[in-house]
Amino acid sequence: MDGNRFDQLTRVLAEGRTRRSTLKAIVGTVVGGLSGLLSATDVLGASCRKPAEVCRKNSDCCSNKCSAPDRTGRSRCLCETSANCPKPASACKAATCTNGVCGEVSVCTNGQICNHGGCCTPEAPEVTCLSACGSVSNNCGQPVDCGPCCSVDGNACTQSTECCSGSSCQSELCAPLKEFGEECTAFSDCMPELGCWTGQCLECEDDSNCDSDPNNCFFYLCFSGRCELNFVGDGFDADLQTVGDCKRVVCDGTGGTRTVDDGADVHDDNNQCTSNICTDGVASNPPVQAGAACTQNGGSVCDGNGNCVECVVPGDCGTDTACRTYSCDSNSCGFADVESGTFVSDEALGDCIQKECDGSGNIVDAANPDDVPLGGECNVNTCDGMSPSVDPFPLGTPCSIGKCDGLGQCVECVTTDDCQSPDICASNVCVGCLGDGQSCQDPSDCCSGYCSSICYTP
């Protein structure tokens, strides 16, 4: 019984008919199925089913693989290998079996195309267009545009593009390109490597028409319309340098180049804390010694490892003072300040000032009430803050050698009463009295007691 009759029987049973009609339908279906089975078996024998045909069990299929029922309840034969699948109609394709389903794939590879039922490799366009122009079919039947058709030598023309390769339009006729020394009227008349100079096909008219070496190790000079080769001398610099490789490329005297060591061609790594050197043609950038000055990355000294840092030793951060001590920890500066009010020095005696720390690392002036001015014994010496004050004792105040003169000085005498008779006080000094005729300033200076610029006796 094939799949269709099986489906028909299933529907009869599902319709809920009478027993008689149901039996009649079953008998008809079975008989029809047997008839079909006998006819298929008698005619085809025990033939197997191909992929995608309906099946009930694995043995129904040539591949011995029957799929699970689909949503309609049908199962179908699966392929196991591509040999179970039908052969493609085109020789350009091959049968495939993927997940039990047959398919086809192209066997043309490496740029081949399918042409007349077989794979074909197209020839190069240049081969197709050899001695041809316009639209031409290549060996695989593909159309190829070979460009506009050209005129052969002797045919009329208006411009050289109309003439075939190796020819140009000369005097309105296509003619072969001219060789060296032949007469010409335009560059297009001459062979590609020639130009039309002064009415002749030549290589050059002057040196500028000749090629030059980009490395500058050879050059051409124009002589009699031809470019003649000349070499730059051995050892001259070539225009082929790499900055910073400790090498120099020079000409070898035969148009080529060679490489020599160059100790001046150092590699500058733009690091102030490394050296730029060449050693036997090899560039390197070793670190400079620790403590060398630098200004990069916010630093001021090199650490000896190629880095510009803030400090290596405390002295890099500043000079210690009586009020601040510097430190360097992990290449970073620090400091410690002495407590405010700490005495530093008293540089000038008697000025009421001393040097002390302000707590922020600075040395500042501060009042010192004990640093009174040195005004002497005839003065009252005091400090008014940081200002010294000197006030003289009154005139006649006793002092170590006599009396204070009222101006802060200790003198022998202020008046004659301060001297022993018969001495008198002259210019704060006790002296003997002056005789008549001696110069005097005060009558007391004279023994006579009379003074009129000079002592006299009335």
**Interval 70-86 mean pLDDT:** 91
For residue 443, the model assigns a pLDDT of: 83
Q: How many C-beta neighbours within 10 Å does residue 167 have? A: 22
For the record, the structure tokens of 25 come out as: 């339908």
Inter-residue contact 49 to 56 (CB < 8 Å)? no
**Selection from 69, 109, 110, 67 nearest residue 92 by Cα:** 109
Inter-residue contact 152 to 174 (CB < 8 Å)? yes
Give the separation between CA 169 and CA 173, rounded to whole angstroms. Answer: 5
For residue 272, the model assigns a pLDDT of: 97
Give the separation between CA 71 and CA 67, rounded to whole angstroms. Answer: 12
Give the type of residue at 221: L
| Residue 36 pLDDT exceeds 50 | no
Residue 192, preceding peptide bond in cis (omega within 30° of 0): no
Q: Residue 138 to residues 91, 112, 146, 280: CA-CA distances in angstroms?
A: 21, 13, 11, 62
426 band by pLDDT with thresholds 50, 70 and 90: confident
- Enumerate residues 6+ apart whose C-beta is below 8 A from 20: none
Give the CA diameter of the chain: 201
374 band by pLDDT with thresholds 50, 70 and 90: confident
Q: What percent of the chain has pLDDT over 70?
A: 90
In the DSSP assignment, the letter for residue 443 is G
Inter-residue contact 88 to 104 (CB < 8 Å)? yes
Inter-residue contact 439 to 452 (CB < 8 Å)? no
Q: Residue 42 to residues 2, 5, 37, 39, 61: CA-CA distances in angstroms?
A: 15, 19, 8, 5, 18
For residue 46, the model assigns a pLDDT of: 52
pTM more than 0.75: no
For residue 421, the model assigns a pLDDT of: 79
Question: What is the per-residue burial (b if ≥16 Cβ within 10 Å, else e) of 437-447?
Answer: eeebeeebbbe
